[in-house]
Amino acid sequence: MRTRRSTRLGFQPPAIGEEEIEAVAETMRSGWLTSGPRAALLEERLGPYLEAKHVLAVSSGTAALHLALVALGVGPGDEVVTSPITWPATANVIEHCGATPVFCDVRESDLTIDPDLVPALVGERTKAILPVDLAGQPADLDALLALGPPVVEDAAHALEARYRGRKVGSIADVTCFSLYATKNLAAGEGGLLATSRDDTADAVRAMRLTRRAGGGLYDQVVPGFKANLPDVLAAIALVQLDKLAVHGEIRARQFALWDEGVADLEGITPLARDPRDEHAHHLYVVRVDPGRAGATRDEYVAALEEELVATSVHFLPVHTLTWFRSRYPEQPALRVAERAGREVLSLPVSPAHADVDVLDAVDALRRVHARFTG
């Protein structure tokens, strides 16, 4: 077994090189800081990649979700069925529309929304279904699309993924991606909205930025939002797009190192990856069963920190967070999600890490496991 690290290993640092730095400098020298030719080029290049008729660059993944729901007419009195295992933004945007999030429990295997439970939650007030592709694994889209309401897919973790051979971005009514600093395509901030629906694309274009007609003139056809992606960030994303395949190979290799490293660890179980799909390898998430692993997830987090290995949690169930508990005191228990929220642990994966870094982290986890179970 390897010796303990002497420097701290970050959880998911961005893989930024001189190419990204030069792209930002070149953009600043060009005079375009806000949305301009680079944002337009990013949209143009991502359309074929995502196999979508329209790709719109926006200020964040959250903005993409919000604009998608507004474009589909989600408003006060409506309901949107969604997953509780996600970052709060997924549910927040439903609230921002004046609608109500209806949380559905998740599957034990991969913690994506359970398609067998969704039909019972779809009713006359259901305006959309908002599944979450967790850690790089697409949700069961076919089953959800068959139910009728529009599907807005939160694919913040799944830019490279394919579902049953089809590209994520080409399947749901609207698919939303994130360009946040930790994402596989990292610009620091930003988001993307992919759709083949002309009406939705037109509505989002009208809302994300007031249109200028030249000569200082402008017009507004809807009360929109300030949700455009600046060229400075688009420039970073364009360089990252050129590296996406190479970074994907690194991530897949690191996943394989983790798979081998945890295979014989009692009570440490990775989330399932459906062999029919192409996983995006965004997060390596395991579940820590305290009865078999000898300690709780939080005790593992603390022990790994002592080993100078950073970790994270994806995710705490949204419906258990303070604001949602207060707003929806009658929320039924979601037992799979709530148990998972106590067990999930995300381990370091990043193209910025060398294989030796991941092997250090694997050995640290094995030492911690031996100590807790010995």
Active site residues: 183
Nearest to 103 by CA among 119, 88, 91: 91
- 85/306 Cα distance (integer angstroms): 28
Which residue, among 350, 345, 341, 335, has the nearest Cα to 365 in the 3D structure? 345
Identify whether the C-beta of residue 90 lies closer than 8 Å to the C-beta of residue 82: yes
C-alpha of 13 from chain center: 16
Q: 């200028």: which residue's tokens?
A: 212
For residues 64 and 236, give the distance between their C-alpha atoms in angstroms, rounded to a whole number.
Answer: 19
CA distance 50 to 60: 18
What H or E segment, with its residue span, contains residue 127? strand 126-130
Give the contacts of 324 (CB within 8 A, at least 6 positions apart): 88, 91, 101, 318, 331
Q: Are 359 and 297 in contact (CB under 8 A)?
A: no
Structure tokens at 96: 């921002």
Check: CB of residue 177 under 8 Å from CB of residue 64. Answer: yes
Quick check: 230 and 319 in contact, CB under 8 A? no
Residue 71 DSSP SS3: helix
Residue 249 CA to residue 167 CA, distance in Å, equals 18
Residue 315, preceding peptide bond in cis (omega within 30° of 0): yes
